[in-house]
A and B are shown apart, each in its own frame.
Chain A
């Protein structure tokens, strides 16, 4: 289907420098998180977005502070991209009391309501209907808020995905679905288990959603399609599906070296790494090498400081254990 695309305000050089900084921050934060895994400081599991940063950063640049993000268990990047500081995110990964949720959620459930990050969901596809509910609430209350829901290619084969797309379309909800298609559903090539070439976009068009394909390793391209889709949602023109093709540099999760992928494929995608690519583009647009070096130094300082502060965080106390099952702050189930 086709609809009119509202005008999108283009990014100027300063905006693009900020977008570069964000992508780099996501990259260096996650590399640090990975190092801290190897030191056994980060416990449990973790799913990194290394290689996919342009999507979280590009979409976030198109959102208003009042809009909502719904992320997955691979959600560090989407959380940070909304302006959540690094320290509480890293401290959450470390299970410290200064963590974003004081250690009660962990890597897979990053949430910061004050930044519009309305949760990271670790059951595949579950958050698509939930994002619809937030969008319904915005529509009902007559606000201009938009719900943006990120998920991977693997989510497109679960029932909740299909229920949510139909639901969003029939109620014309202000929701933008963003499929990060990194070609691999955990350890299996997505095209081997999916009947269509483009798992999100091809299905979405069948449900009557505006369906958009984009190079997920190009932050500017992502920004442009996201800004257009968000503007349509805000204008009451209903939901969209953006399928962003990308690649994760590492494995599915912490325990996975990703060896099932052909070396040639990995090499091909490393050559399309969004960050060096954006670096080159900024130089072509007239940014100076010094400017970019200063940004890089600044991000390193930020990551180092977050590391220090996260490590300095305390161990969560027993007082937290029985707190906040209920809205009254407690957990009592009897009198």
Chain B
């Protein structure tokens, strides 16, 4: 066991897979010599060399196009889009090309690739470097969407994503880059489509993703002190979605609260609410409540950003109010 930060876990996860499989290559802006703008890829260029770890120009379409062309011809590329907001300048390659081509060609092609990206707010970067875009990716047929919340999950889900034969959007919560936990030594390999129950309670189920997971855990501790015993589930993978675990845990308490960093409309919690309503409506003891960032671009000032993104206080007060109404 060793203490590892979330950002160190990224490099360790990639290195683990690059050592194992020669066809894994890595490209992106400032990922090599600079070690990543968030220092998430330090040491990879030194270990694997400039042929497998390649710095690119600021050309997001070229980066993802190259990843796609390489994947369809036998490599397993990992591409970095530095900030998830930048998906907007290369979304054609993701949505029209990567996501659709296997289906359109009647299965002639496969795209074993991973696109990693720094996602979400908390760093006071303002609206164009802070958005949580998991809902953009989730709504596209043909993309898998993975969002780890701990260093150990970063490694295990990174390995699972790289080994997966389909395109995976791997969103790293920027707010978590500096967090640190104990991580086991040796190879770590997880599996996609598996939610994780982090805490079991009897009164309400809090379902959270990415940077909202530690907040949900903290809120659950406070709520326990107020007599509300919560289950906390880390979704981890939006596509595929582990509905079995989610529905079981929601049924068990009869109450669902989603904790979402994405702006309100069409957030993943909306889809989950729909599934719950259709499939376990009669197990519910009260309304489904979504706790999200409001439907606004994120402001830069720390005071304003903190008001926008769901906080521990907002989670606690919202759950408390709803459970006592």
Q: Please report A residues at the B interface, Cβ cutoff 8 Å.
A: 68, 100-102, 104-105, 109, 111-113, 118-119, 121, 123, 126-138, 140-141, 145, 147, 159-160, 163-164, 166-167, 170-171, 320, 323-329, 331-335
Contacts and interface: CB of A to CB of B under 8 A. Distances in A.
B103 A325 contact: yes
Given A111-B109, A327-B110, 10 more contacts: A111-B108, A112-B108, A121-B97, A128-B65, A130-B72, A133-B68, A140-B51, A167-B57, A167-B59, A167-B66
B75 A119 contact: no
A325 B109 CA distance: 10
A80 B245 CA distance: 50
B146 interface: no
Given A102-B106, A325-B103, A333-B240, A159 B69 contact: no
Contacts of B96: 123, 126
Interface residues of B, number: 49
Nearest to A133: B69
Contacts of A171: 54
A129 B62 contact: yes
A137 B69 contact: yes
A68 B108 CA distance: 14
Contacts of A334: 193, 240-243, 275
B109 A130 contact: no
A140 B54 CA distance: 12
B65 A130 contact: yes
Interface in B45-66: 51, 54, 56-57, 59, 61-66
Contact of A129 (B54, B61, B110): B61
A111 B105 CA distance: 6
Contacts of A164: 61-62, 65
B141 interface: yes
B108 A101 contact: yes
Contact of A119 (B66, B70, B105, B240): B105
B150 to A, nearest CB: 22
B225 interface: no
B308 interface: no
Contacts of A170: 57
B103 A126 contact: no
B324 interface: no
Interface of B: 25, 51, 54, 56-57, 59, 61-75, 77, 92-93, 96-97, 101-110, 112, 141-142, 165-166, 193, 239-244, 275
Given A137-B73, A138-B73, A332-B240, A129 B103 contact: no
A163 B102 contact: no
Nearest to B89: A159
A109 B105 contact: yes
A170 B70 CA distance: 17
A118 B72 CA distance: 8
B104 A101 contact: yes
A94 B51 CA distance: 45
Contact of A166 (B51, B62, B97, B107): B62
Given A105-B105, A140-B75, A167 B56 contact: yes
A159 B63 CA distance: 13
A136 B66 contact: yes
A160 B65 contact: yes
B104 A129 contact: no
A109 B97 CA distance: 11
Contacts of B110: 327
B106 A123 contact: no
Contact of B104 (A68, A111, A133, A147): A111
Contacts of B243: 334-335
Nearest to A170: B57
Contact of B59 (A104, A105, A166, A320): A166
B309 to A, nearest CB: 27
Nearest to B69: A133
23 contacts: A102-B106, A105-B105, A111-B104, A113-B108, A119-B105, A119-B109, A121-B97, A126-B93, A127-B97, A130-B72, A130-B97, A132-B69, A133-B70, A134-B72, A136-B69, A166-B62, A325-B103, A326-B142, A327-B102, A327-B165, A333-B240, A333-B241, A335-B240
A326 B104 contact: no
Contacts of B64: 129
A119 B74 contact: no
A73 B108 CA distance: 18
A167 B67 CA distance: 12
Contacts of A326: 102, 142, 165-166
Contacts of B106: 100-102, 104-105, 320, 323-324
A123 to B, nearest CB: 5
